């Protein structure tokens, strides 16, 4: 089965800061001071590279639709993609006058990552750059990061809505991922609740992080939880996830995957009749997939870098759907591929093949503790995840 991956595409530049004293990076990072750091790691970034290359590594046939400039960063980005699979360059547009997007990633010991991004060609990429002939051959279409793509958030997302309407009319299963809007830029001032209300009726699979989702749909709740000890993720409870996913299902989404960082991932699905409308990548066993609420804890790993781990988790999940697995296995593969990703300094270097990932899971890979039994959930001992009993 073929997956088309479109949207945000950039070059990630991550200097090695591992020698810095833990938690002290910003104490050294001062105006007028020379700060010596390690060598820089260049890798593909954005949804197209992170999710697309991980899907390719997992054995899923993949086609990219993205845009770069004909400059050193654009050539470096295309070389990175070509090293994995030269055929993936076929759908990448090269603009002779625009500059390629890049992100500086600072990931010092003991502190959260800091990203400094130049959107470049992502700001001018538009629906005119979408190859619908390629999409007609696909089973699944995935688009990533509309908050970072100007043409797709202008006018409350007119172009994004038009894109998803068109793809759905072709009978293709649609998938959408978001990024966190920058509140200081134009994209952060968009009415994201309205944009999602307009777009999600044409989206089959929606895969935001819980922070992104709260920021867009429940901004007051987001601000309250962000100020709590441990931040948003540690404060999230099953009832809040059920409430958020209820709203998304009412808007027309069939499958909701909410990424929860170090706490794993939550899966919510619509009823059987709604799932039947998913298009080419509709699961075969709709009774198994319908009306599910699952929560999978993370696998235990030594974390080296978390850049792109959410995109890698999406790749694991979409690859499982295209292989017609059970929802339990799909969610397990999502957190497994995400866990493999954080073992390396970039998204892809530690992602395994599909079979190698399965082998690692089956060899007794340990999970972080999670107990939802006080909330009425039961544990699936086979997949080591939690299931909310279906309402009768």
Whose CA is closest to 293, among 257, 262, 329, 264? 257
Q: Give the rounded percent of residues in the chain with a pLDDT score beyond 90.
A: 83
Whose CA is closest to 319, among 36, 55, 5? 55
Q: Provide mean pLDDT across the span 17-24.
A: 81
20: confidence class by pLDDT, cuts 50, 70, 90: confident
Check if the beta carbon of residue 332 is closer than 8 Å to that of residue 383: yes
Q: Provide mean pLDDT across the span 162-188.
A: 95
Q: What is the pLDDT of residue 109?
A: 81
Whose CA is closest to 44, among 16, 87, 84, 71? 84
- CA 14 to CA 116: how far, in whole Å? 11
Q: Are strands 265-269 and 255-259 parallel, antiparallel or unpaired?
A: antiparallel
Tokens of 45: 């970034």
Q: What is the pLDDT of residue 142?
A: 98
pTM metric for this prediction: 0.95
Which residue in this structure is represented by tokens 């899971």? 361
Q: What is the pLDDT of residue 213?
A: 97
Whose CA is closest to 332, among 321, 342, 319, 317? 317
- How does pLDDT run across 50-74, given as a tens digit for each residue? 999 999 999 999 999 999 999 999 9
Domains of the chain, each with CATH number or no CATH = 2-6+53-66+123-387 (3.40.1190.20)
DSSP letter, residue 99: P
pLDDT of 172 > 90? The answer is yes
Within the chain, what is the greatest distance between any pair of CA atoms? 66
Average pLDDT of the chain is 94
- CA 211 to CA 308: how far, in whole Å? 15
DSSP letter, residue 15: E
Q: Provide mean pLDDT across the span 305-311.
A: 87
392: confidence class by pLDDT, cuts 50, 70, 90: low
- How does pLDDT run across 352-365, given as a tens digit for each residue? 999 999 999 999 99
- How does pLDDT run across 107-119, given as a tens digit for each residue? 888 777 788 999 9
């Amino acid at each position: 089965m073929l997956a088309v991956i479109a949207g945000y595409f950039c070059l990630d530049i991550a200097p090695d800061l591992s020698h810095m004293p833990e938690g002290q990076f910003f104490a050294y990072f001062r105006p007028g001071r020379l700060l010596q750091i390690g060598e820089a790691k260049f890798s593909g970034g954005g949804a197209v590279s992170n999710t697309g290359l991980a899907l390719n590594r997992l054995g899923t046939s993949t086609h990219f639709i993205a845009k770069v400039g004909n400059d050193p960063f654009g050539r470096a980005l295309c070389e990175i993609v070509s090293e994995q699979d030269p055929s993936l360059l076929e759908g990448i547009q090269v603009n002779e006058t625009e500059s390629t997007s890049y992100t500086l990633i600072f990931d010092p010991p003991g502190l959260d990552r800091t990203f400094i991004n130049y959107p470049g060609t992502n700001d001018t990429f538009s629906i005119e750059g979408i190859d619908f002939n390629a999409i007609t051959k696909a089973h699944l279409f995935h688009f990533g990061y509309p908050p970072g793509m100007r043409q797709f958030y202008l006018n409350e997302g007119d172009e994004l809505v038009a894109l998803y309407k068109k793809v759905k009319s072709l009978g293709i299963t649609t998938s959408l991922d978001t990024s966190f809007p920058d509140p200081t830029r134009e994209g952060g001032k968009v009415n994201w609740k309205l944009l999602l209300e307009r777009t999600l009726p044409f989206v089959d699979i929606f895969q935001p992080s819980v922070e992104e989702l709260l920021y867009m749909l429940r901004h007051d709740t987001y601000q309250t939880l962000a100020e709590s000890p441990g931040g948003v993720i540690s404060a999230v409870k099953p009832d809040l996830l059920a409430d958020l996913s209820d709203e998304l299902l009412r808007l027309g989404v069939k499958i909701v995957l909410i990424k929860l960082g170090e706490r794993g991932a939550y899966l919510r699905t619509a009823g059987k009749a709604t799932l039947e409308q998913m298009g080419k990548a509709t699961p075969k066993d709709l009774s198994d997939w319908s009306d599910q609420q699952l929560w999978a804890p993370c696998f235990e790993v030594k974390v080296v870098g978390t850049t792109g781990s959410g995109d890698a988790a999406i790749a694991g999940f979409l690859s499982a759907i295209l292989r017609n697995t059970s929802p339990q296995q799909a969610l397990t593969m999502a957190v497994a591929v995400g866990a493999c990703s954080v073992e390396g300094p970039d998204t892809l270097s530690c992602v395994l093949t599909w079979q190698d990932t399965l082998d690692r899971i089956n060899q007794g890979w340990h999970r972080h503790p999670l107990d939802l039994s006080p909330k009425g959930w039961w544990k699936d001992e086979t997949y080591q995840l939690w299931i909310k009993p279906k309402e009768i």
